[in-house]
Structure 1
Amino acid sequence: MNKLLFIDALRGMAILGVLINHAARNIEVWGILGKNVHLTPWVYQIMAQGSRGVQLFFVASAFTLCLSYERRKNEKNPLLNFFIRRFFRIAPLFYCGFLFYTIRPVLLENKELPSFGHIFSTLTFTNGWNPYWFNAANAIVPGGWSIAVEMTFYLLFPFLFSRIRSLNQAIYVTAGSLLISRVIFFVLDSYFQINDKNLWNIFISGWFPNQLPIFFIGFIFYFIFSNFRSTSIDLDRKYLSEFITKKSFIKLLLAVSIVLLVILPFFHHKLIPISFVFGLDFLLLATCLAIYPSRLLVNRFFCFLGTISFSGYITHFYVLNLAHRALHRLHLNYLPPELYLIVLIGIALAGTIVISYFCYKFIEIPGQTLGRKLIVALEARKLWFLK
């Protein structure tokens, strides 16, 4: 599979959005500038929706899995090889994050070790099915809830991909899963099973059944992309009489998708979750970039950021904390909150890029290489037994 630069760019936008969201939450929710200091409401409302970068990751993940699984379907052990690749794609860096965020403070700062259940469920990626473990995972490895959701999707993906074989099927499954997930959500929201209603709402909003329709949007994009690629549409063939019209139309749709990213934070509807609406906009954005990779978004910066995005997702929490400490030492915490937010994002982004590149090069890549070596070793052992 040739490297698709627009997918790296989408991942770069996703991690940037997540970082912006957490930077804004540092000020508005966790009060790092003081409890009485707040961002302008509309500014925070837009910045907070950077958290939808997680859903953009989900859409991109489903899409790339469809591409790679289809390409490798003729391997001797495609199912086993798939799970090995997925595990070694996530686990090595995630477990290093566990050592850094959980074990290091216990050894160096005399902090208490979380409960066995929290640790075990986080390390086995099963914390997504218990409301107490779900949110607590973020204290073990920040962002751990979304990793659990992703790993659950990996577990089901081969079955789903074997059943969804056309664009129409993908659309029907997406609509059906959205309907079912909303019914489940409203039932559970009315009859919550634990005493902490806030924790219960966090759980039923973020757990896998509520995120599954977002993954299915990635399936829709896969079939749209496959159909587009098979027709060999080329927008750069300037001799076509309709070239200007086609290219202008894609540019218009791309502009609409970008404008929607700013408008959608103010969208509220009880029946359709905002995360799903963002998912549809990500589908439009991805389709436009697949056809016309505008340099505004598909450029070296976003592509590089996308390449190291998983490392960035794990490390940016700590880097934000370091950036905040540095700004306090420089007495810049007295800046107006919006200006402080801009400076915080800039410093944290630079630091995240540096640390994430190191993690990508020395943890992610070796981890993936180890997975490939294991696949080769298992194939060789199987051949030895057959002799």
Structure 2
Amino acid sequence: MAEPVCDPDCAGGSAGPGGRRTMSIAQGARAEATVTSGTVSADRLIPGIHALRGLAAVAVVLFHFAHLTTVAVPPSLAFVAADFAKGVYLFFVLSAFSLMHSTERHVDRPQWVTTFFTKRFWRIAPLFYLILAMIVCFQVAGGNRVDPWRVLLNLTFTTAFSPKDGIVPAGWTVGVEMLFYVLFPVLLLTVRTMRAAVVLSVVATVMTCAGRILLFREHGDWANFMLPSNLCFFAYGLLAYRIALSDDSGSRWVQRIAPVASVASIATLLALPEGHMLRTGAGLGTILWGLAFALLCTWRGATVSHRGNAVMHYLGERSYSIYLLHPLVIWLLRPRLQGLYDTLALDIGALAAWMACAAALLAVLLLMCEASYRLVELPGIRVGSRMNKRRHARPSMEPV
């Protein structure tokens, strides 16, 4: 989803664990960046990390385009239907990385936990609630019964406990994210070193595998949409942040190999045949994807000279809208996309026709996302920022 916005009084560097300066990544990225952001303050923007959000969002859109329509996926693009859902895992890794980057320097400030939760709520809730309200109204207008318990679970972002009760399409990730936000202040105060990040990653890996195995017995495939089944991705994001920030020899070695290792590992996982053992089961494949994405985030997070790709930055800036709106847009466009594909496939072939339909879908989706970004996301962010500014201003207004 989207990186948290820092308050205006958050500019400037601060000392991290062990006295290290935590602004080094952002300062280098800011010096080279040619793009601006309405969702991330300029001093905290890492162009490479922000662009990865766009990559993850487009991957999920194409995955659902392959599965929610009858447009046939060309055999040469079979990996889209098989693996592009893993973009959600990348979102989780990015979330932990960016939250560490934006929040760690504030742990000694008064009311930092309240500030954190206020920002996160007003970043996530407005668009989610709008789509939830639209769907509930549509169900009521159609004469369908609306379960109040399901609505309550969605309003309180607790669908990660019961993902089958989710109402917003693909909204299960929001429930998982919100529960991670609850845990995040505790992790921020305890995972202050590289060793702690490694220990957390090991523990989270075990919990993820156990969760996917044990919860599957009771919940079936829904088990994959619960927080325990996704804990490792957040832990890997924290570890990637620590590695990207660190100047020790081991971290520098990981930073050097991260570009090649991340690309090679992702390409290898995409190339695996459909029946391969790493594509099935609860364990190793999930872990390998998470580690590959952690390497990717280490690479893009530690690269301070990258100017940022304007297109990917645009997509990353609107990645939350892209993610929440795309199932509805696909559902609305399904008949037209099939008709367009049938018309084009006769003239330009199946591959080109599929790509043209995907481009048409993205064009319509981005038009809608531009509206939701400007009319819902940014106003919500401003509300959260104003609330935090007023809260921090109160002590200075009190008589001495």
Q: Could you say which residue in structure 1 is the equivalent of 2:164?
A: 135
3-state SS, counterpart of residue 129 of structure 1: coil
Segment drifting more, 256-265 vs 4-13: 256-265
Q: Could you say which residue in structure 2 is the equivalent of 1:317?
A: 327
Q: In 2, Cα distance between the equivalents of 1:317 and 1:86?
A: 23
Q: Could you say which residue in structure 1 is the equivalent of 2:195?
A: 168
Of the three residues 149, 153, 171, the one matched with 1:117 is 149
Q: How far off is 1:262 after superposition?
A: 2.2
Residues 172 and 11 (structure 1), Cα distance of their counterparts in 2 relative to 1, 3 Å cut: same
Of the three residues 139, 150, 165, the one matched with 2:177 is 150
Q: Could you say which residue in structure 2 is the equivalent of 1:377?
A: 390
3-state SS, counterpart of residue 143 of structure 1: coil
Work out whether 1:25 is the aligned partner of 2:67: yes
Q: Could you say which residue in structure 1 is the equivalent of 2:7?
A: none
Q: Could you say which residue in structure 2 is the equivalent of 1:5?
A: 47
Aligned ranges 1:1-387 → 2 under 5 Å: 1-27=43-69, 32=70, 39=73, 43-107=77-141, 110-130=142-162, 134-137=163-166, 140-190=167-217, 192=218, 200-228=219-247, 252-253=260-261, 255-260=263-268, 262-263=270-271, 266=274, 267-268=278-279, 270=281, 272-292=283-303, 298-328=308-338, 330=340, 332=342, 335=345, 338-384=351-397, 387=400
Q: In 1, Cα distance between the equivalents of 2:146 and 2:204?
A: 35
3-state SS, counterpart of residue 169 of structure 2: coil
Q: In 2, Cα distance between the equivalents of 1:287 and 1:220?
A: 9
3-state SS, counterpart of residue 44 of structure 2: coil
CA contact (8 A) 1:142 1:314 kept: yes
Residues 271 and 79 (structure 1), Cα distance of their counterparts in 2 relative to 1, 3 Å cut: same
Q: In 2, Cα distance between the equivalents of 1:221 and 1:91?
A: 27
Q: How far off is 1:275 after superposition?
A: 3.0
Q: How far off is 1:300 after superposition?
A: 1.1
CA contact (8 A) 1:25 1:48 kept: no
* Counterpart amino acid of residue 126 in structure 1: T
Residues 286 and 174 (structure 1), Cα distance of their counterparts in 2 relative to 1, 3 Å cut: same
Q: How far off is 1:52 after superposition?
A: 0.9
Residues 321 and 341 (structure 1), Cα distance of their counterparts in 2 relative to 1, 3 Å cut: farther
* Counterpart amino acid of residue 246 in structure 2: N
Q: How far off is 1:273 after superposition?
A: 4.6
CA deviations 1:161-183 (Å, max 9, x no partner) are 11111122111211112213323
Q: In 2, Cα distance between the equivalents of 1:64 and 1:57?
A: 10
Residues 51 and 116 (structure 1), Cα distance of their counterparts in 2 relative to 1, 3 Å cut: same
* Counterpart amino acid of residue 237 in structure 2: G
CA deviations 1:14-37 (Å, max 9, x no partner) are 00110010011124xxxx35xxxx
- Give the superposed CA RMSD: 3.0
CA contact (8 A) 2:233 2:290 kept: yes
Q: In 2, Cα distance between the equivalents of 1:63 and 1:225?
A: 10
Q: Could you say which residue in structure 2 is the equivalent of 1:195?
A: none
Residues 261 and 269 (structure 1), Cα distance of their counterparts in 2 relative to 1, 3 Å cut: closer
CA deviations 1:170-212 (Å, max 9, x no partner) are 112111122133234333434x2xxxxxxx2222122001101
CA contact (8 A) 2:161 2:226 kept: yes
Q: How far off is 1:372 after superposition?
A: 1.1
Q: How far off is 1:271 after superposition?
A: 5.7
* Counterpart amino acid of residue 357 in structure 1: E
Unmatched tracts of structure 2, length 5 or more: 1-42
* Counterpart amino acid of residue 319 in structure 2: S
CA contact (8 A) 1:88 1:367 kept: yes
CA deviations 1:249-273 (Å, max 9, x no partner) are 6653354245235235753364625
* Counterpart amino acid of residue 315 in structure 1: L
Residues 185 and 319 (structure 1), Cα distance of their counterparts in 2 relative to 1, 3 Å cut: closer
Q: How far off is 1:229 after superposition?
A: 10
CA contact (8 A) 1:127 1:145 kept: yes
Segment drifting more, 311-320 vs 258-267: 258-267
CA contact (8 A) 1:323 1:344 kept: no
Q: In 2, Cα distance between the equivalents of 1:103 and 1:51?
A: 29
Q: How far off is 1:341 after superposition?
A: 3.3
Q: How far off is 1:379 after superposition?
A: 3.0
Q: How far off is 1:324 after superposition?
A: 2.5
Q: Could you say which residue in structure 2 is the equivalent of 1:239?
A: none
CA contact (8 A) 1:257 1:284 kept: no
TM-score (structure 1 length as normaliser): 0.81
Residues 261 and 347 (structure 1), Cα distance of their counterparts in 2 relative to 1, 3 Å cut: farther
Q: How far off is 1:333 after superposition?
A: 6.5
CA contact (8 A) 2:53 2:319 kept: yes
Q: In 1, Cα distance between the equivalents of 2:61 and 2:119?
A: 27
Q: How far off is 1:284 after superposition?
A: 1.6
Segment drifting more, 338-347 vs 116-125: 338-347
CA contact (8 A) 1:24 1:48 kept: no
